Amino acid sequence: MEIVKISAIWCGGCLKTNKAIKKVKENYKDITISNLDYDMDEEKVAPLNVGEILPVMIFYKDGKEVARLIGEKNYDEIVEVIKRHV
């Protein structure tokens, strides 16, 4: 599974979600987590149809999007999605 997280340095919810993502990285070493900056990676972010609410986490399994979380999320909310799709 891969998670692509789109966030921005100015986003308070993104900063709070980073703590949860760090814990996910520690507990789910088989999951790849990529980070895209909403402002700096515009060419990569644009085709993902992110919208205006950040952060956005897109979950991929076998190269296909299986879930998307929008807005500030805690560890348990992220793990719930992981468990549904692993």
**Is residue 11 among the annotated active site residues?**
yes
**Is residue 4 among the annotated active site residues?**
no
Q: What is the mean pLDDT, run by run of 10 residues, along the chain of 86 residues?
A: 97 95 96 96 95 96 97 97 94
pLDDT of residue 79: 98
Catalytic choice (3, 6, 11, 58)? 11
Q: What letter does residue 71 receive in the DSSP assignment?
A: S
Please tell me the pTM assigned to this model. 0.94
Please state, in angstroms and rounded to a whole number, the distance separating the CA atoms of residues 19 and 27: 13
- Give the domains, in start order, of the chain with CATH numbers: 2-85 (3.40.30.10)
Kindly tell me the sign of the dihedral angle through the C-alpha atoms of 63, 36, 33, 19. Answer: negative
Please state, in angstroms and rounded to a whole number, the distance separating the CA atoms of residues 86 and 81: 9
pLDDT of residue 74: 97
Catalytic choice (6, 14, 20, 58)? 14
pLDDT of residue 86: 82
Q: What letter does residue 79 receive in the DSSP assignment?
A: H
